[in-house]
Amino acid sequence: MKNVLMIGMGRFGKYTAKKLNEFGHDVMAVDKDEDRVNKIMEYVTSARIGDATDSLFLKTLGIKDFDICIVAVGDAFLEALEITSLLKELGAEKVISRATSATMEKFLLRNGADAVVFPERQMANWTAIRYSSENIENYIEVSDGYAIYEVKVPSDWHNKRIDEIDVRRRYGINILGIRNGKMNMNPAYDTVLHKQDTMLVLGRNETLQKMFHL
């Protein structure tokens, strides 16, 4: 369980705070808008109304007590930069800041952010990939050109065993799971594939896209 400070209760901040709460983390929500704070109260451990660009206000929160500080005010460029910088000055262990452009990302990193997230860009990438092919059921970008796709079993793999296809040696991909009504995340090598099933496959983006005609 982590102690998380979430600054900014717009859509991104609100949904992130709710999800952190679902995972059992302690979340303090902060926003200068009283109405936003009131709407998130039932989903967080505690909440404060105040201006996070005010160093005196931030000091009252006990910044060093938080494992993660999330700055979710990406629409306000200068405000996000100022809050990010102040958090680091006050001893924040880890600061994650929301950005809306590559330029903003660069300045946030220079001003103390340990990592930067692009909710809109990341969702746009997911949407474009997910709905650009009828074969894709889901998609997760991993790193360094690798990704996990949930794809339909190709028709020429129908009624064949995983070891018979030998995808790891022949294609350099790994089958992580098989969904046939419910997801089996530990498929055996002798698992028989069916064209109505979907698979979770891990590999290089270009290999997966070419192989499954994505």
What pLDDT, on the 0 to 100 scale, is given for residue 214?
65
Average pLDDT, the chain: 89
What pLDDT, on the 0 to 100 scale, is given for residue 66?
97
Q: How far apart are CA 153 and CA 145, in angstroms?
A: 22
Q: How far apart are CA 111 and CA 85, in angstroms?
A: 5
Mean pLDDT of 76-96: 94
- C-beta separation of 67 from 94 below 8 A: yes
Could you give the domains of the chain? 3-117 (3.40.50.720), 123-211 (3.30.70.1450)
Q: How far apart are the first and last CA of the chain?
A: 39
Q: What is the pTM of this model?
A: 0.71
Per-state percent for the chain, helix, strand, coil, to nearest 5: 40, 25, 35
Ordered DSSP codes for 48-94: EES-TT-HHHHHTT-GGG-SEEEE--TTSHHHHHHHHHHHHHTT-S-
**pLDDT tens-digit readout, 156-182:** 899 999 888 888 888 888 889 899 888
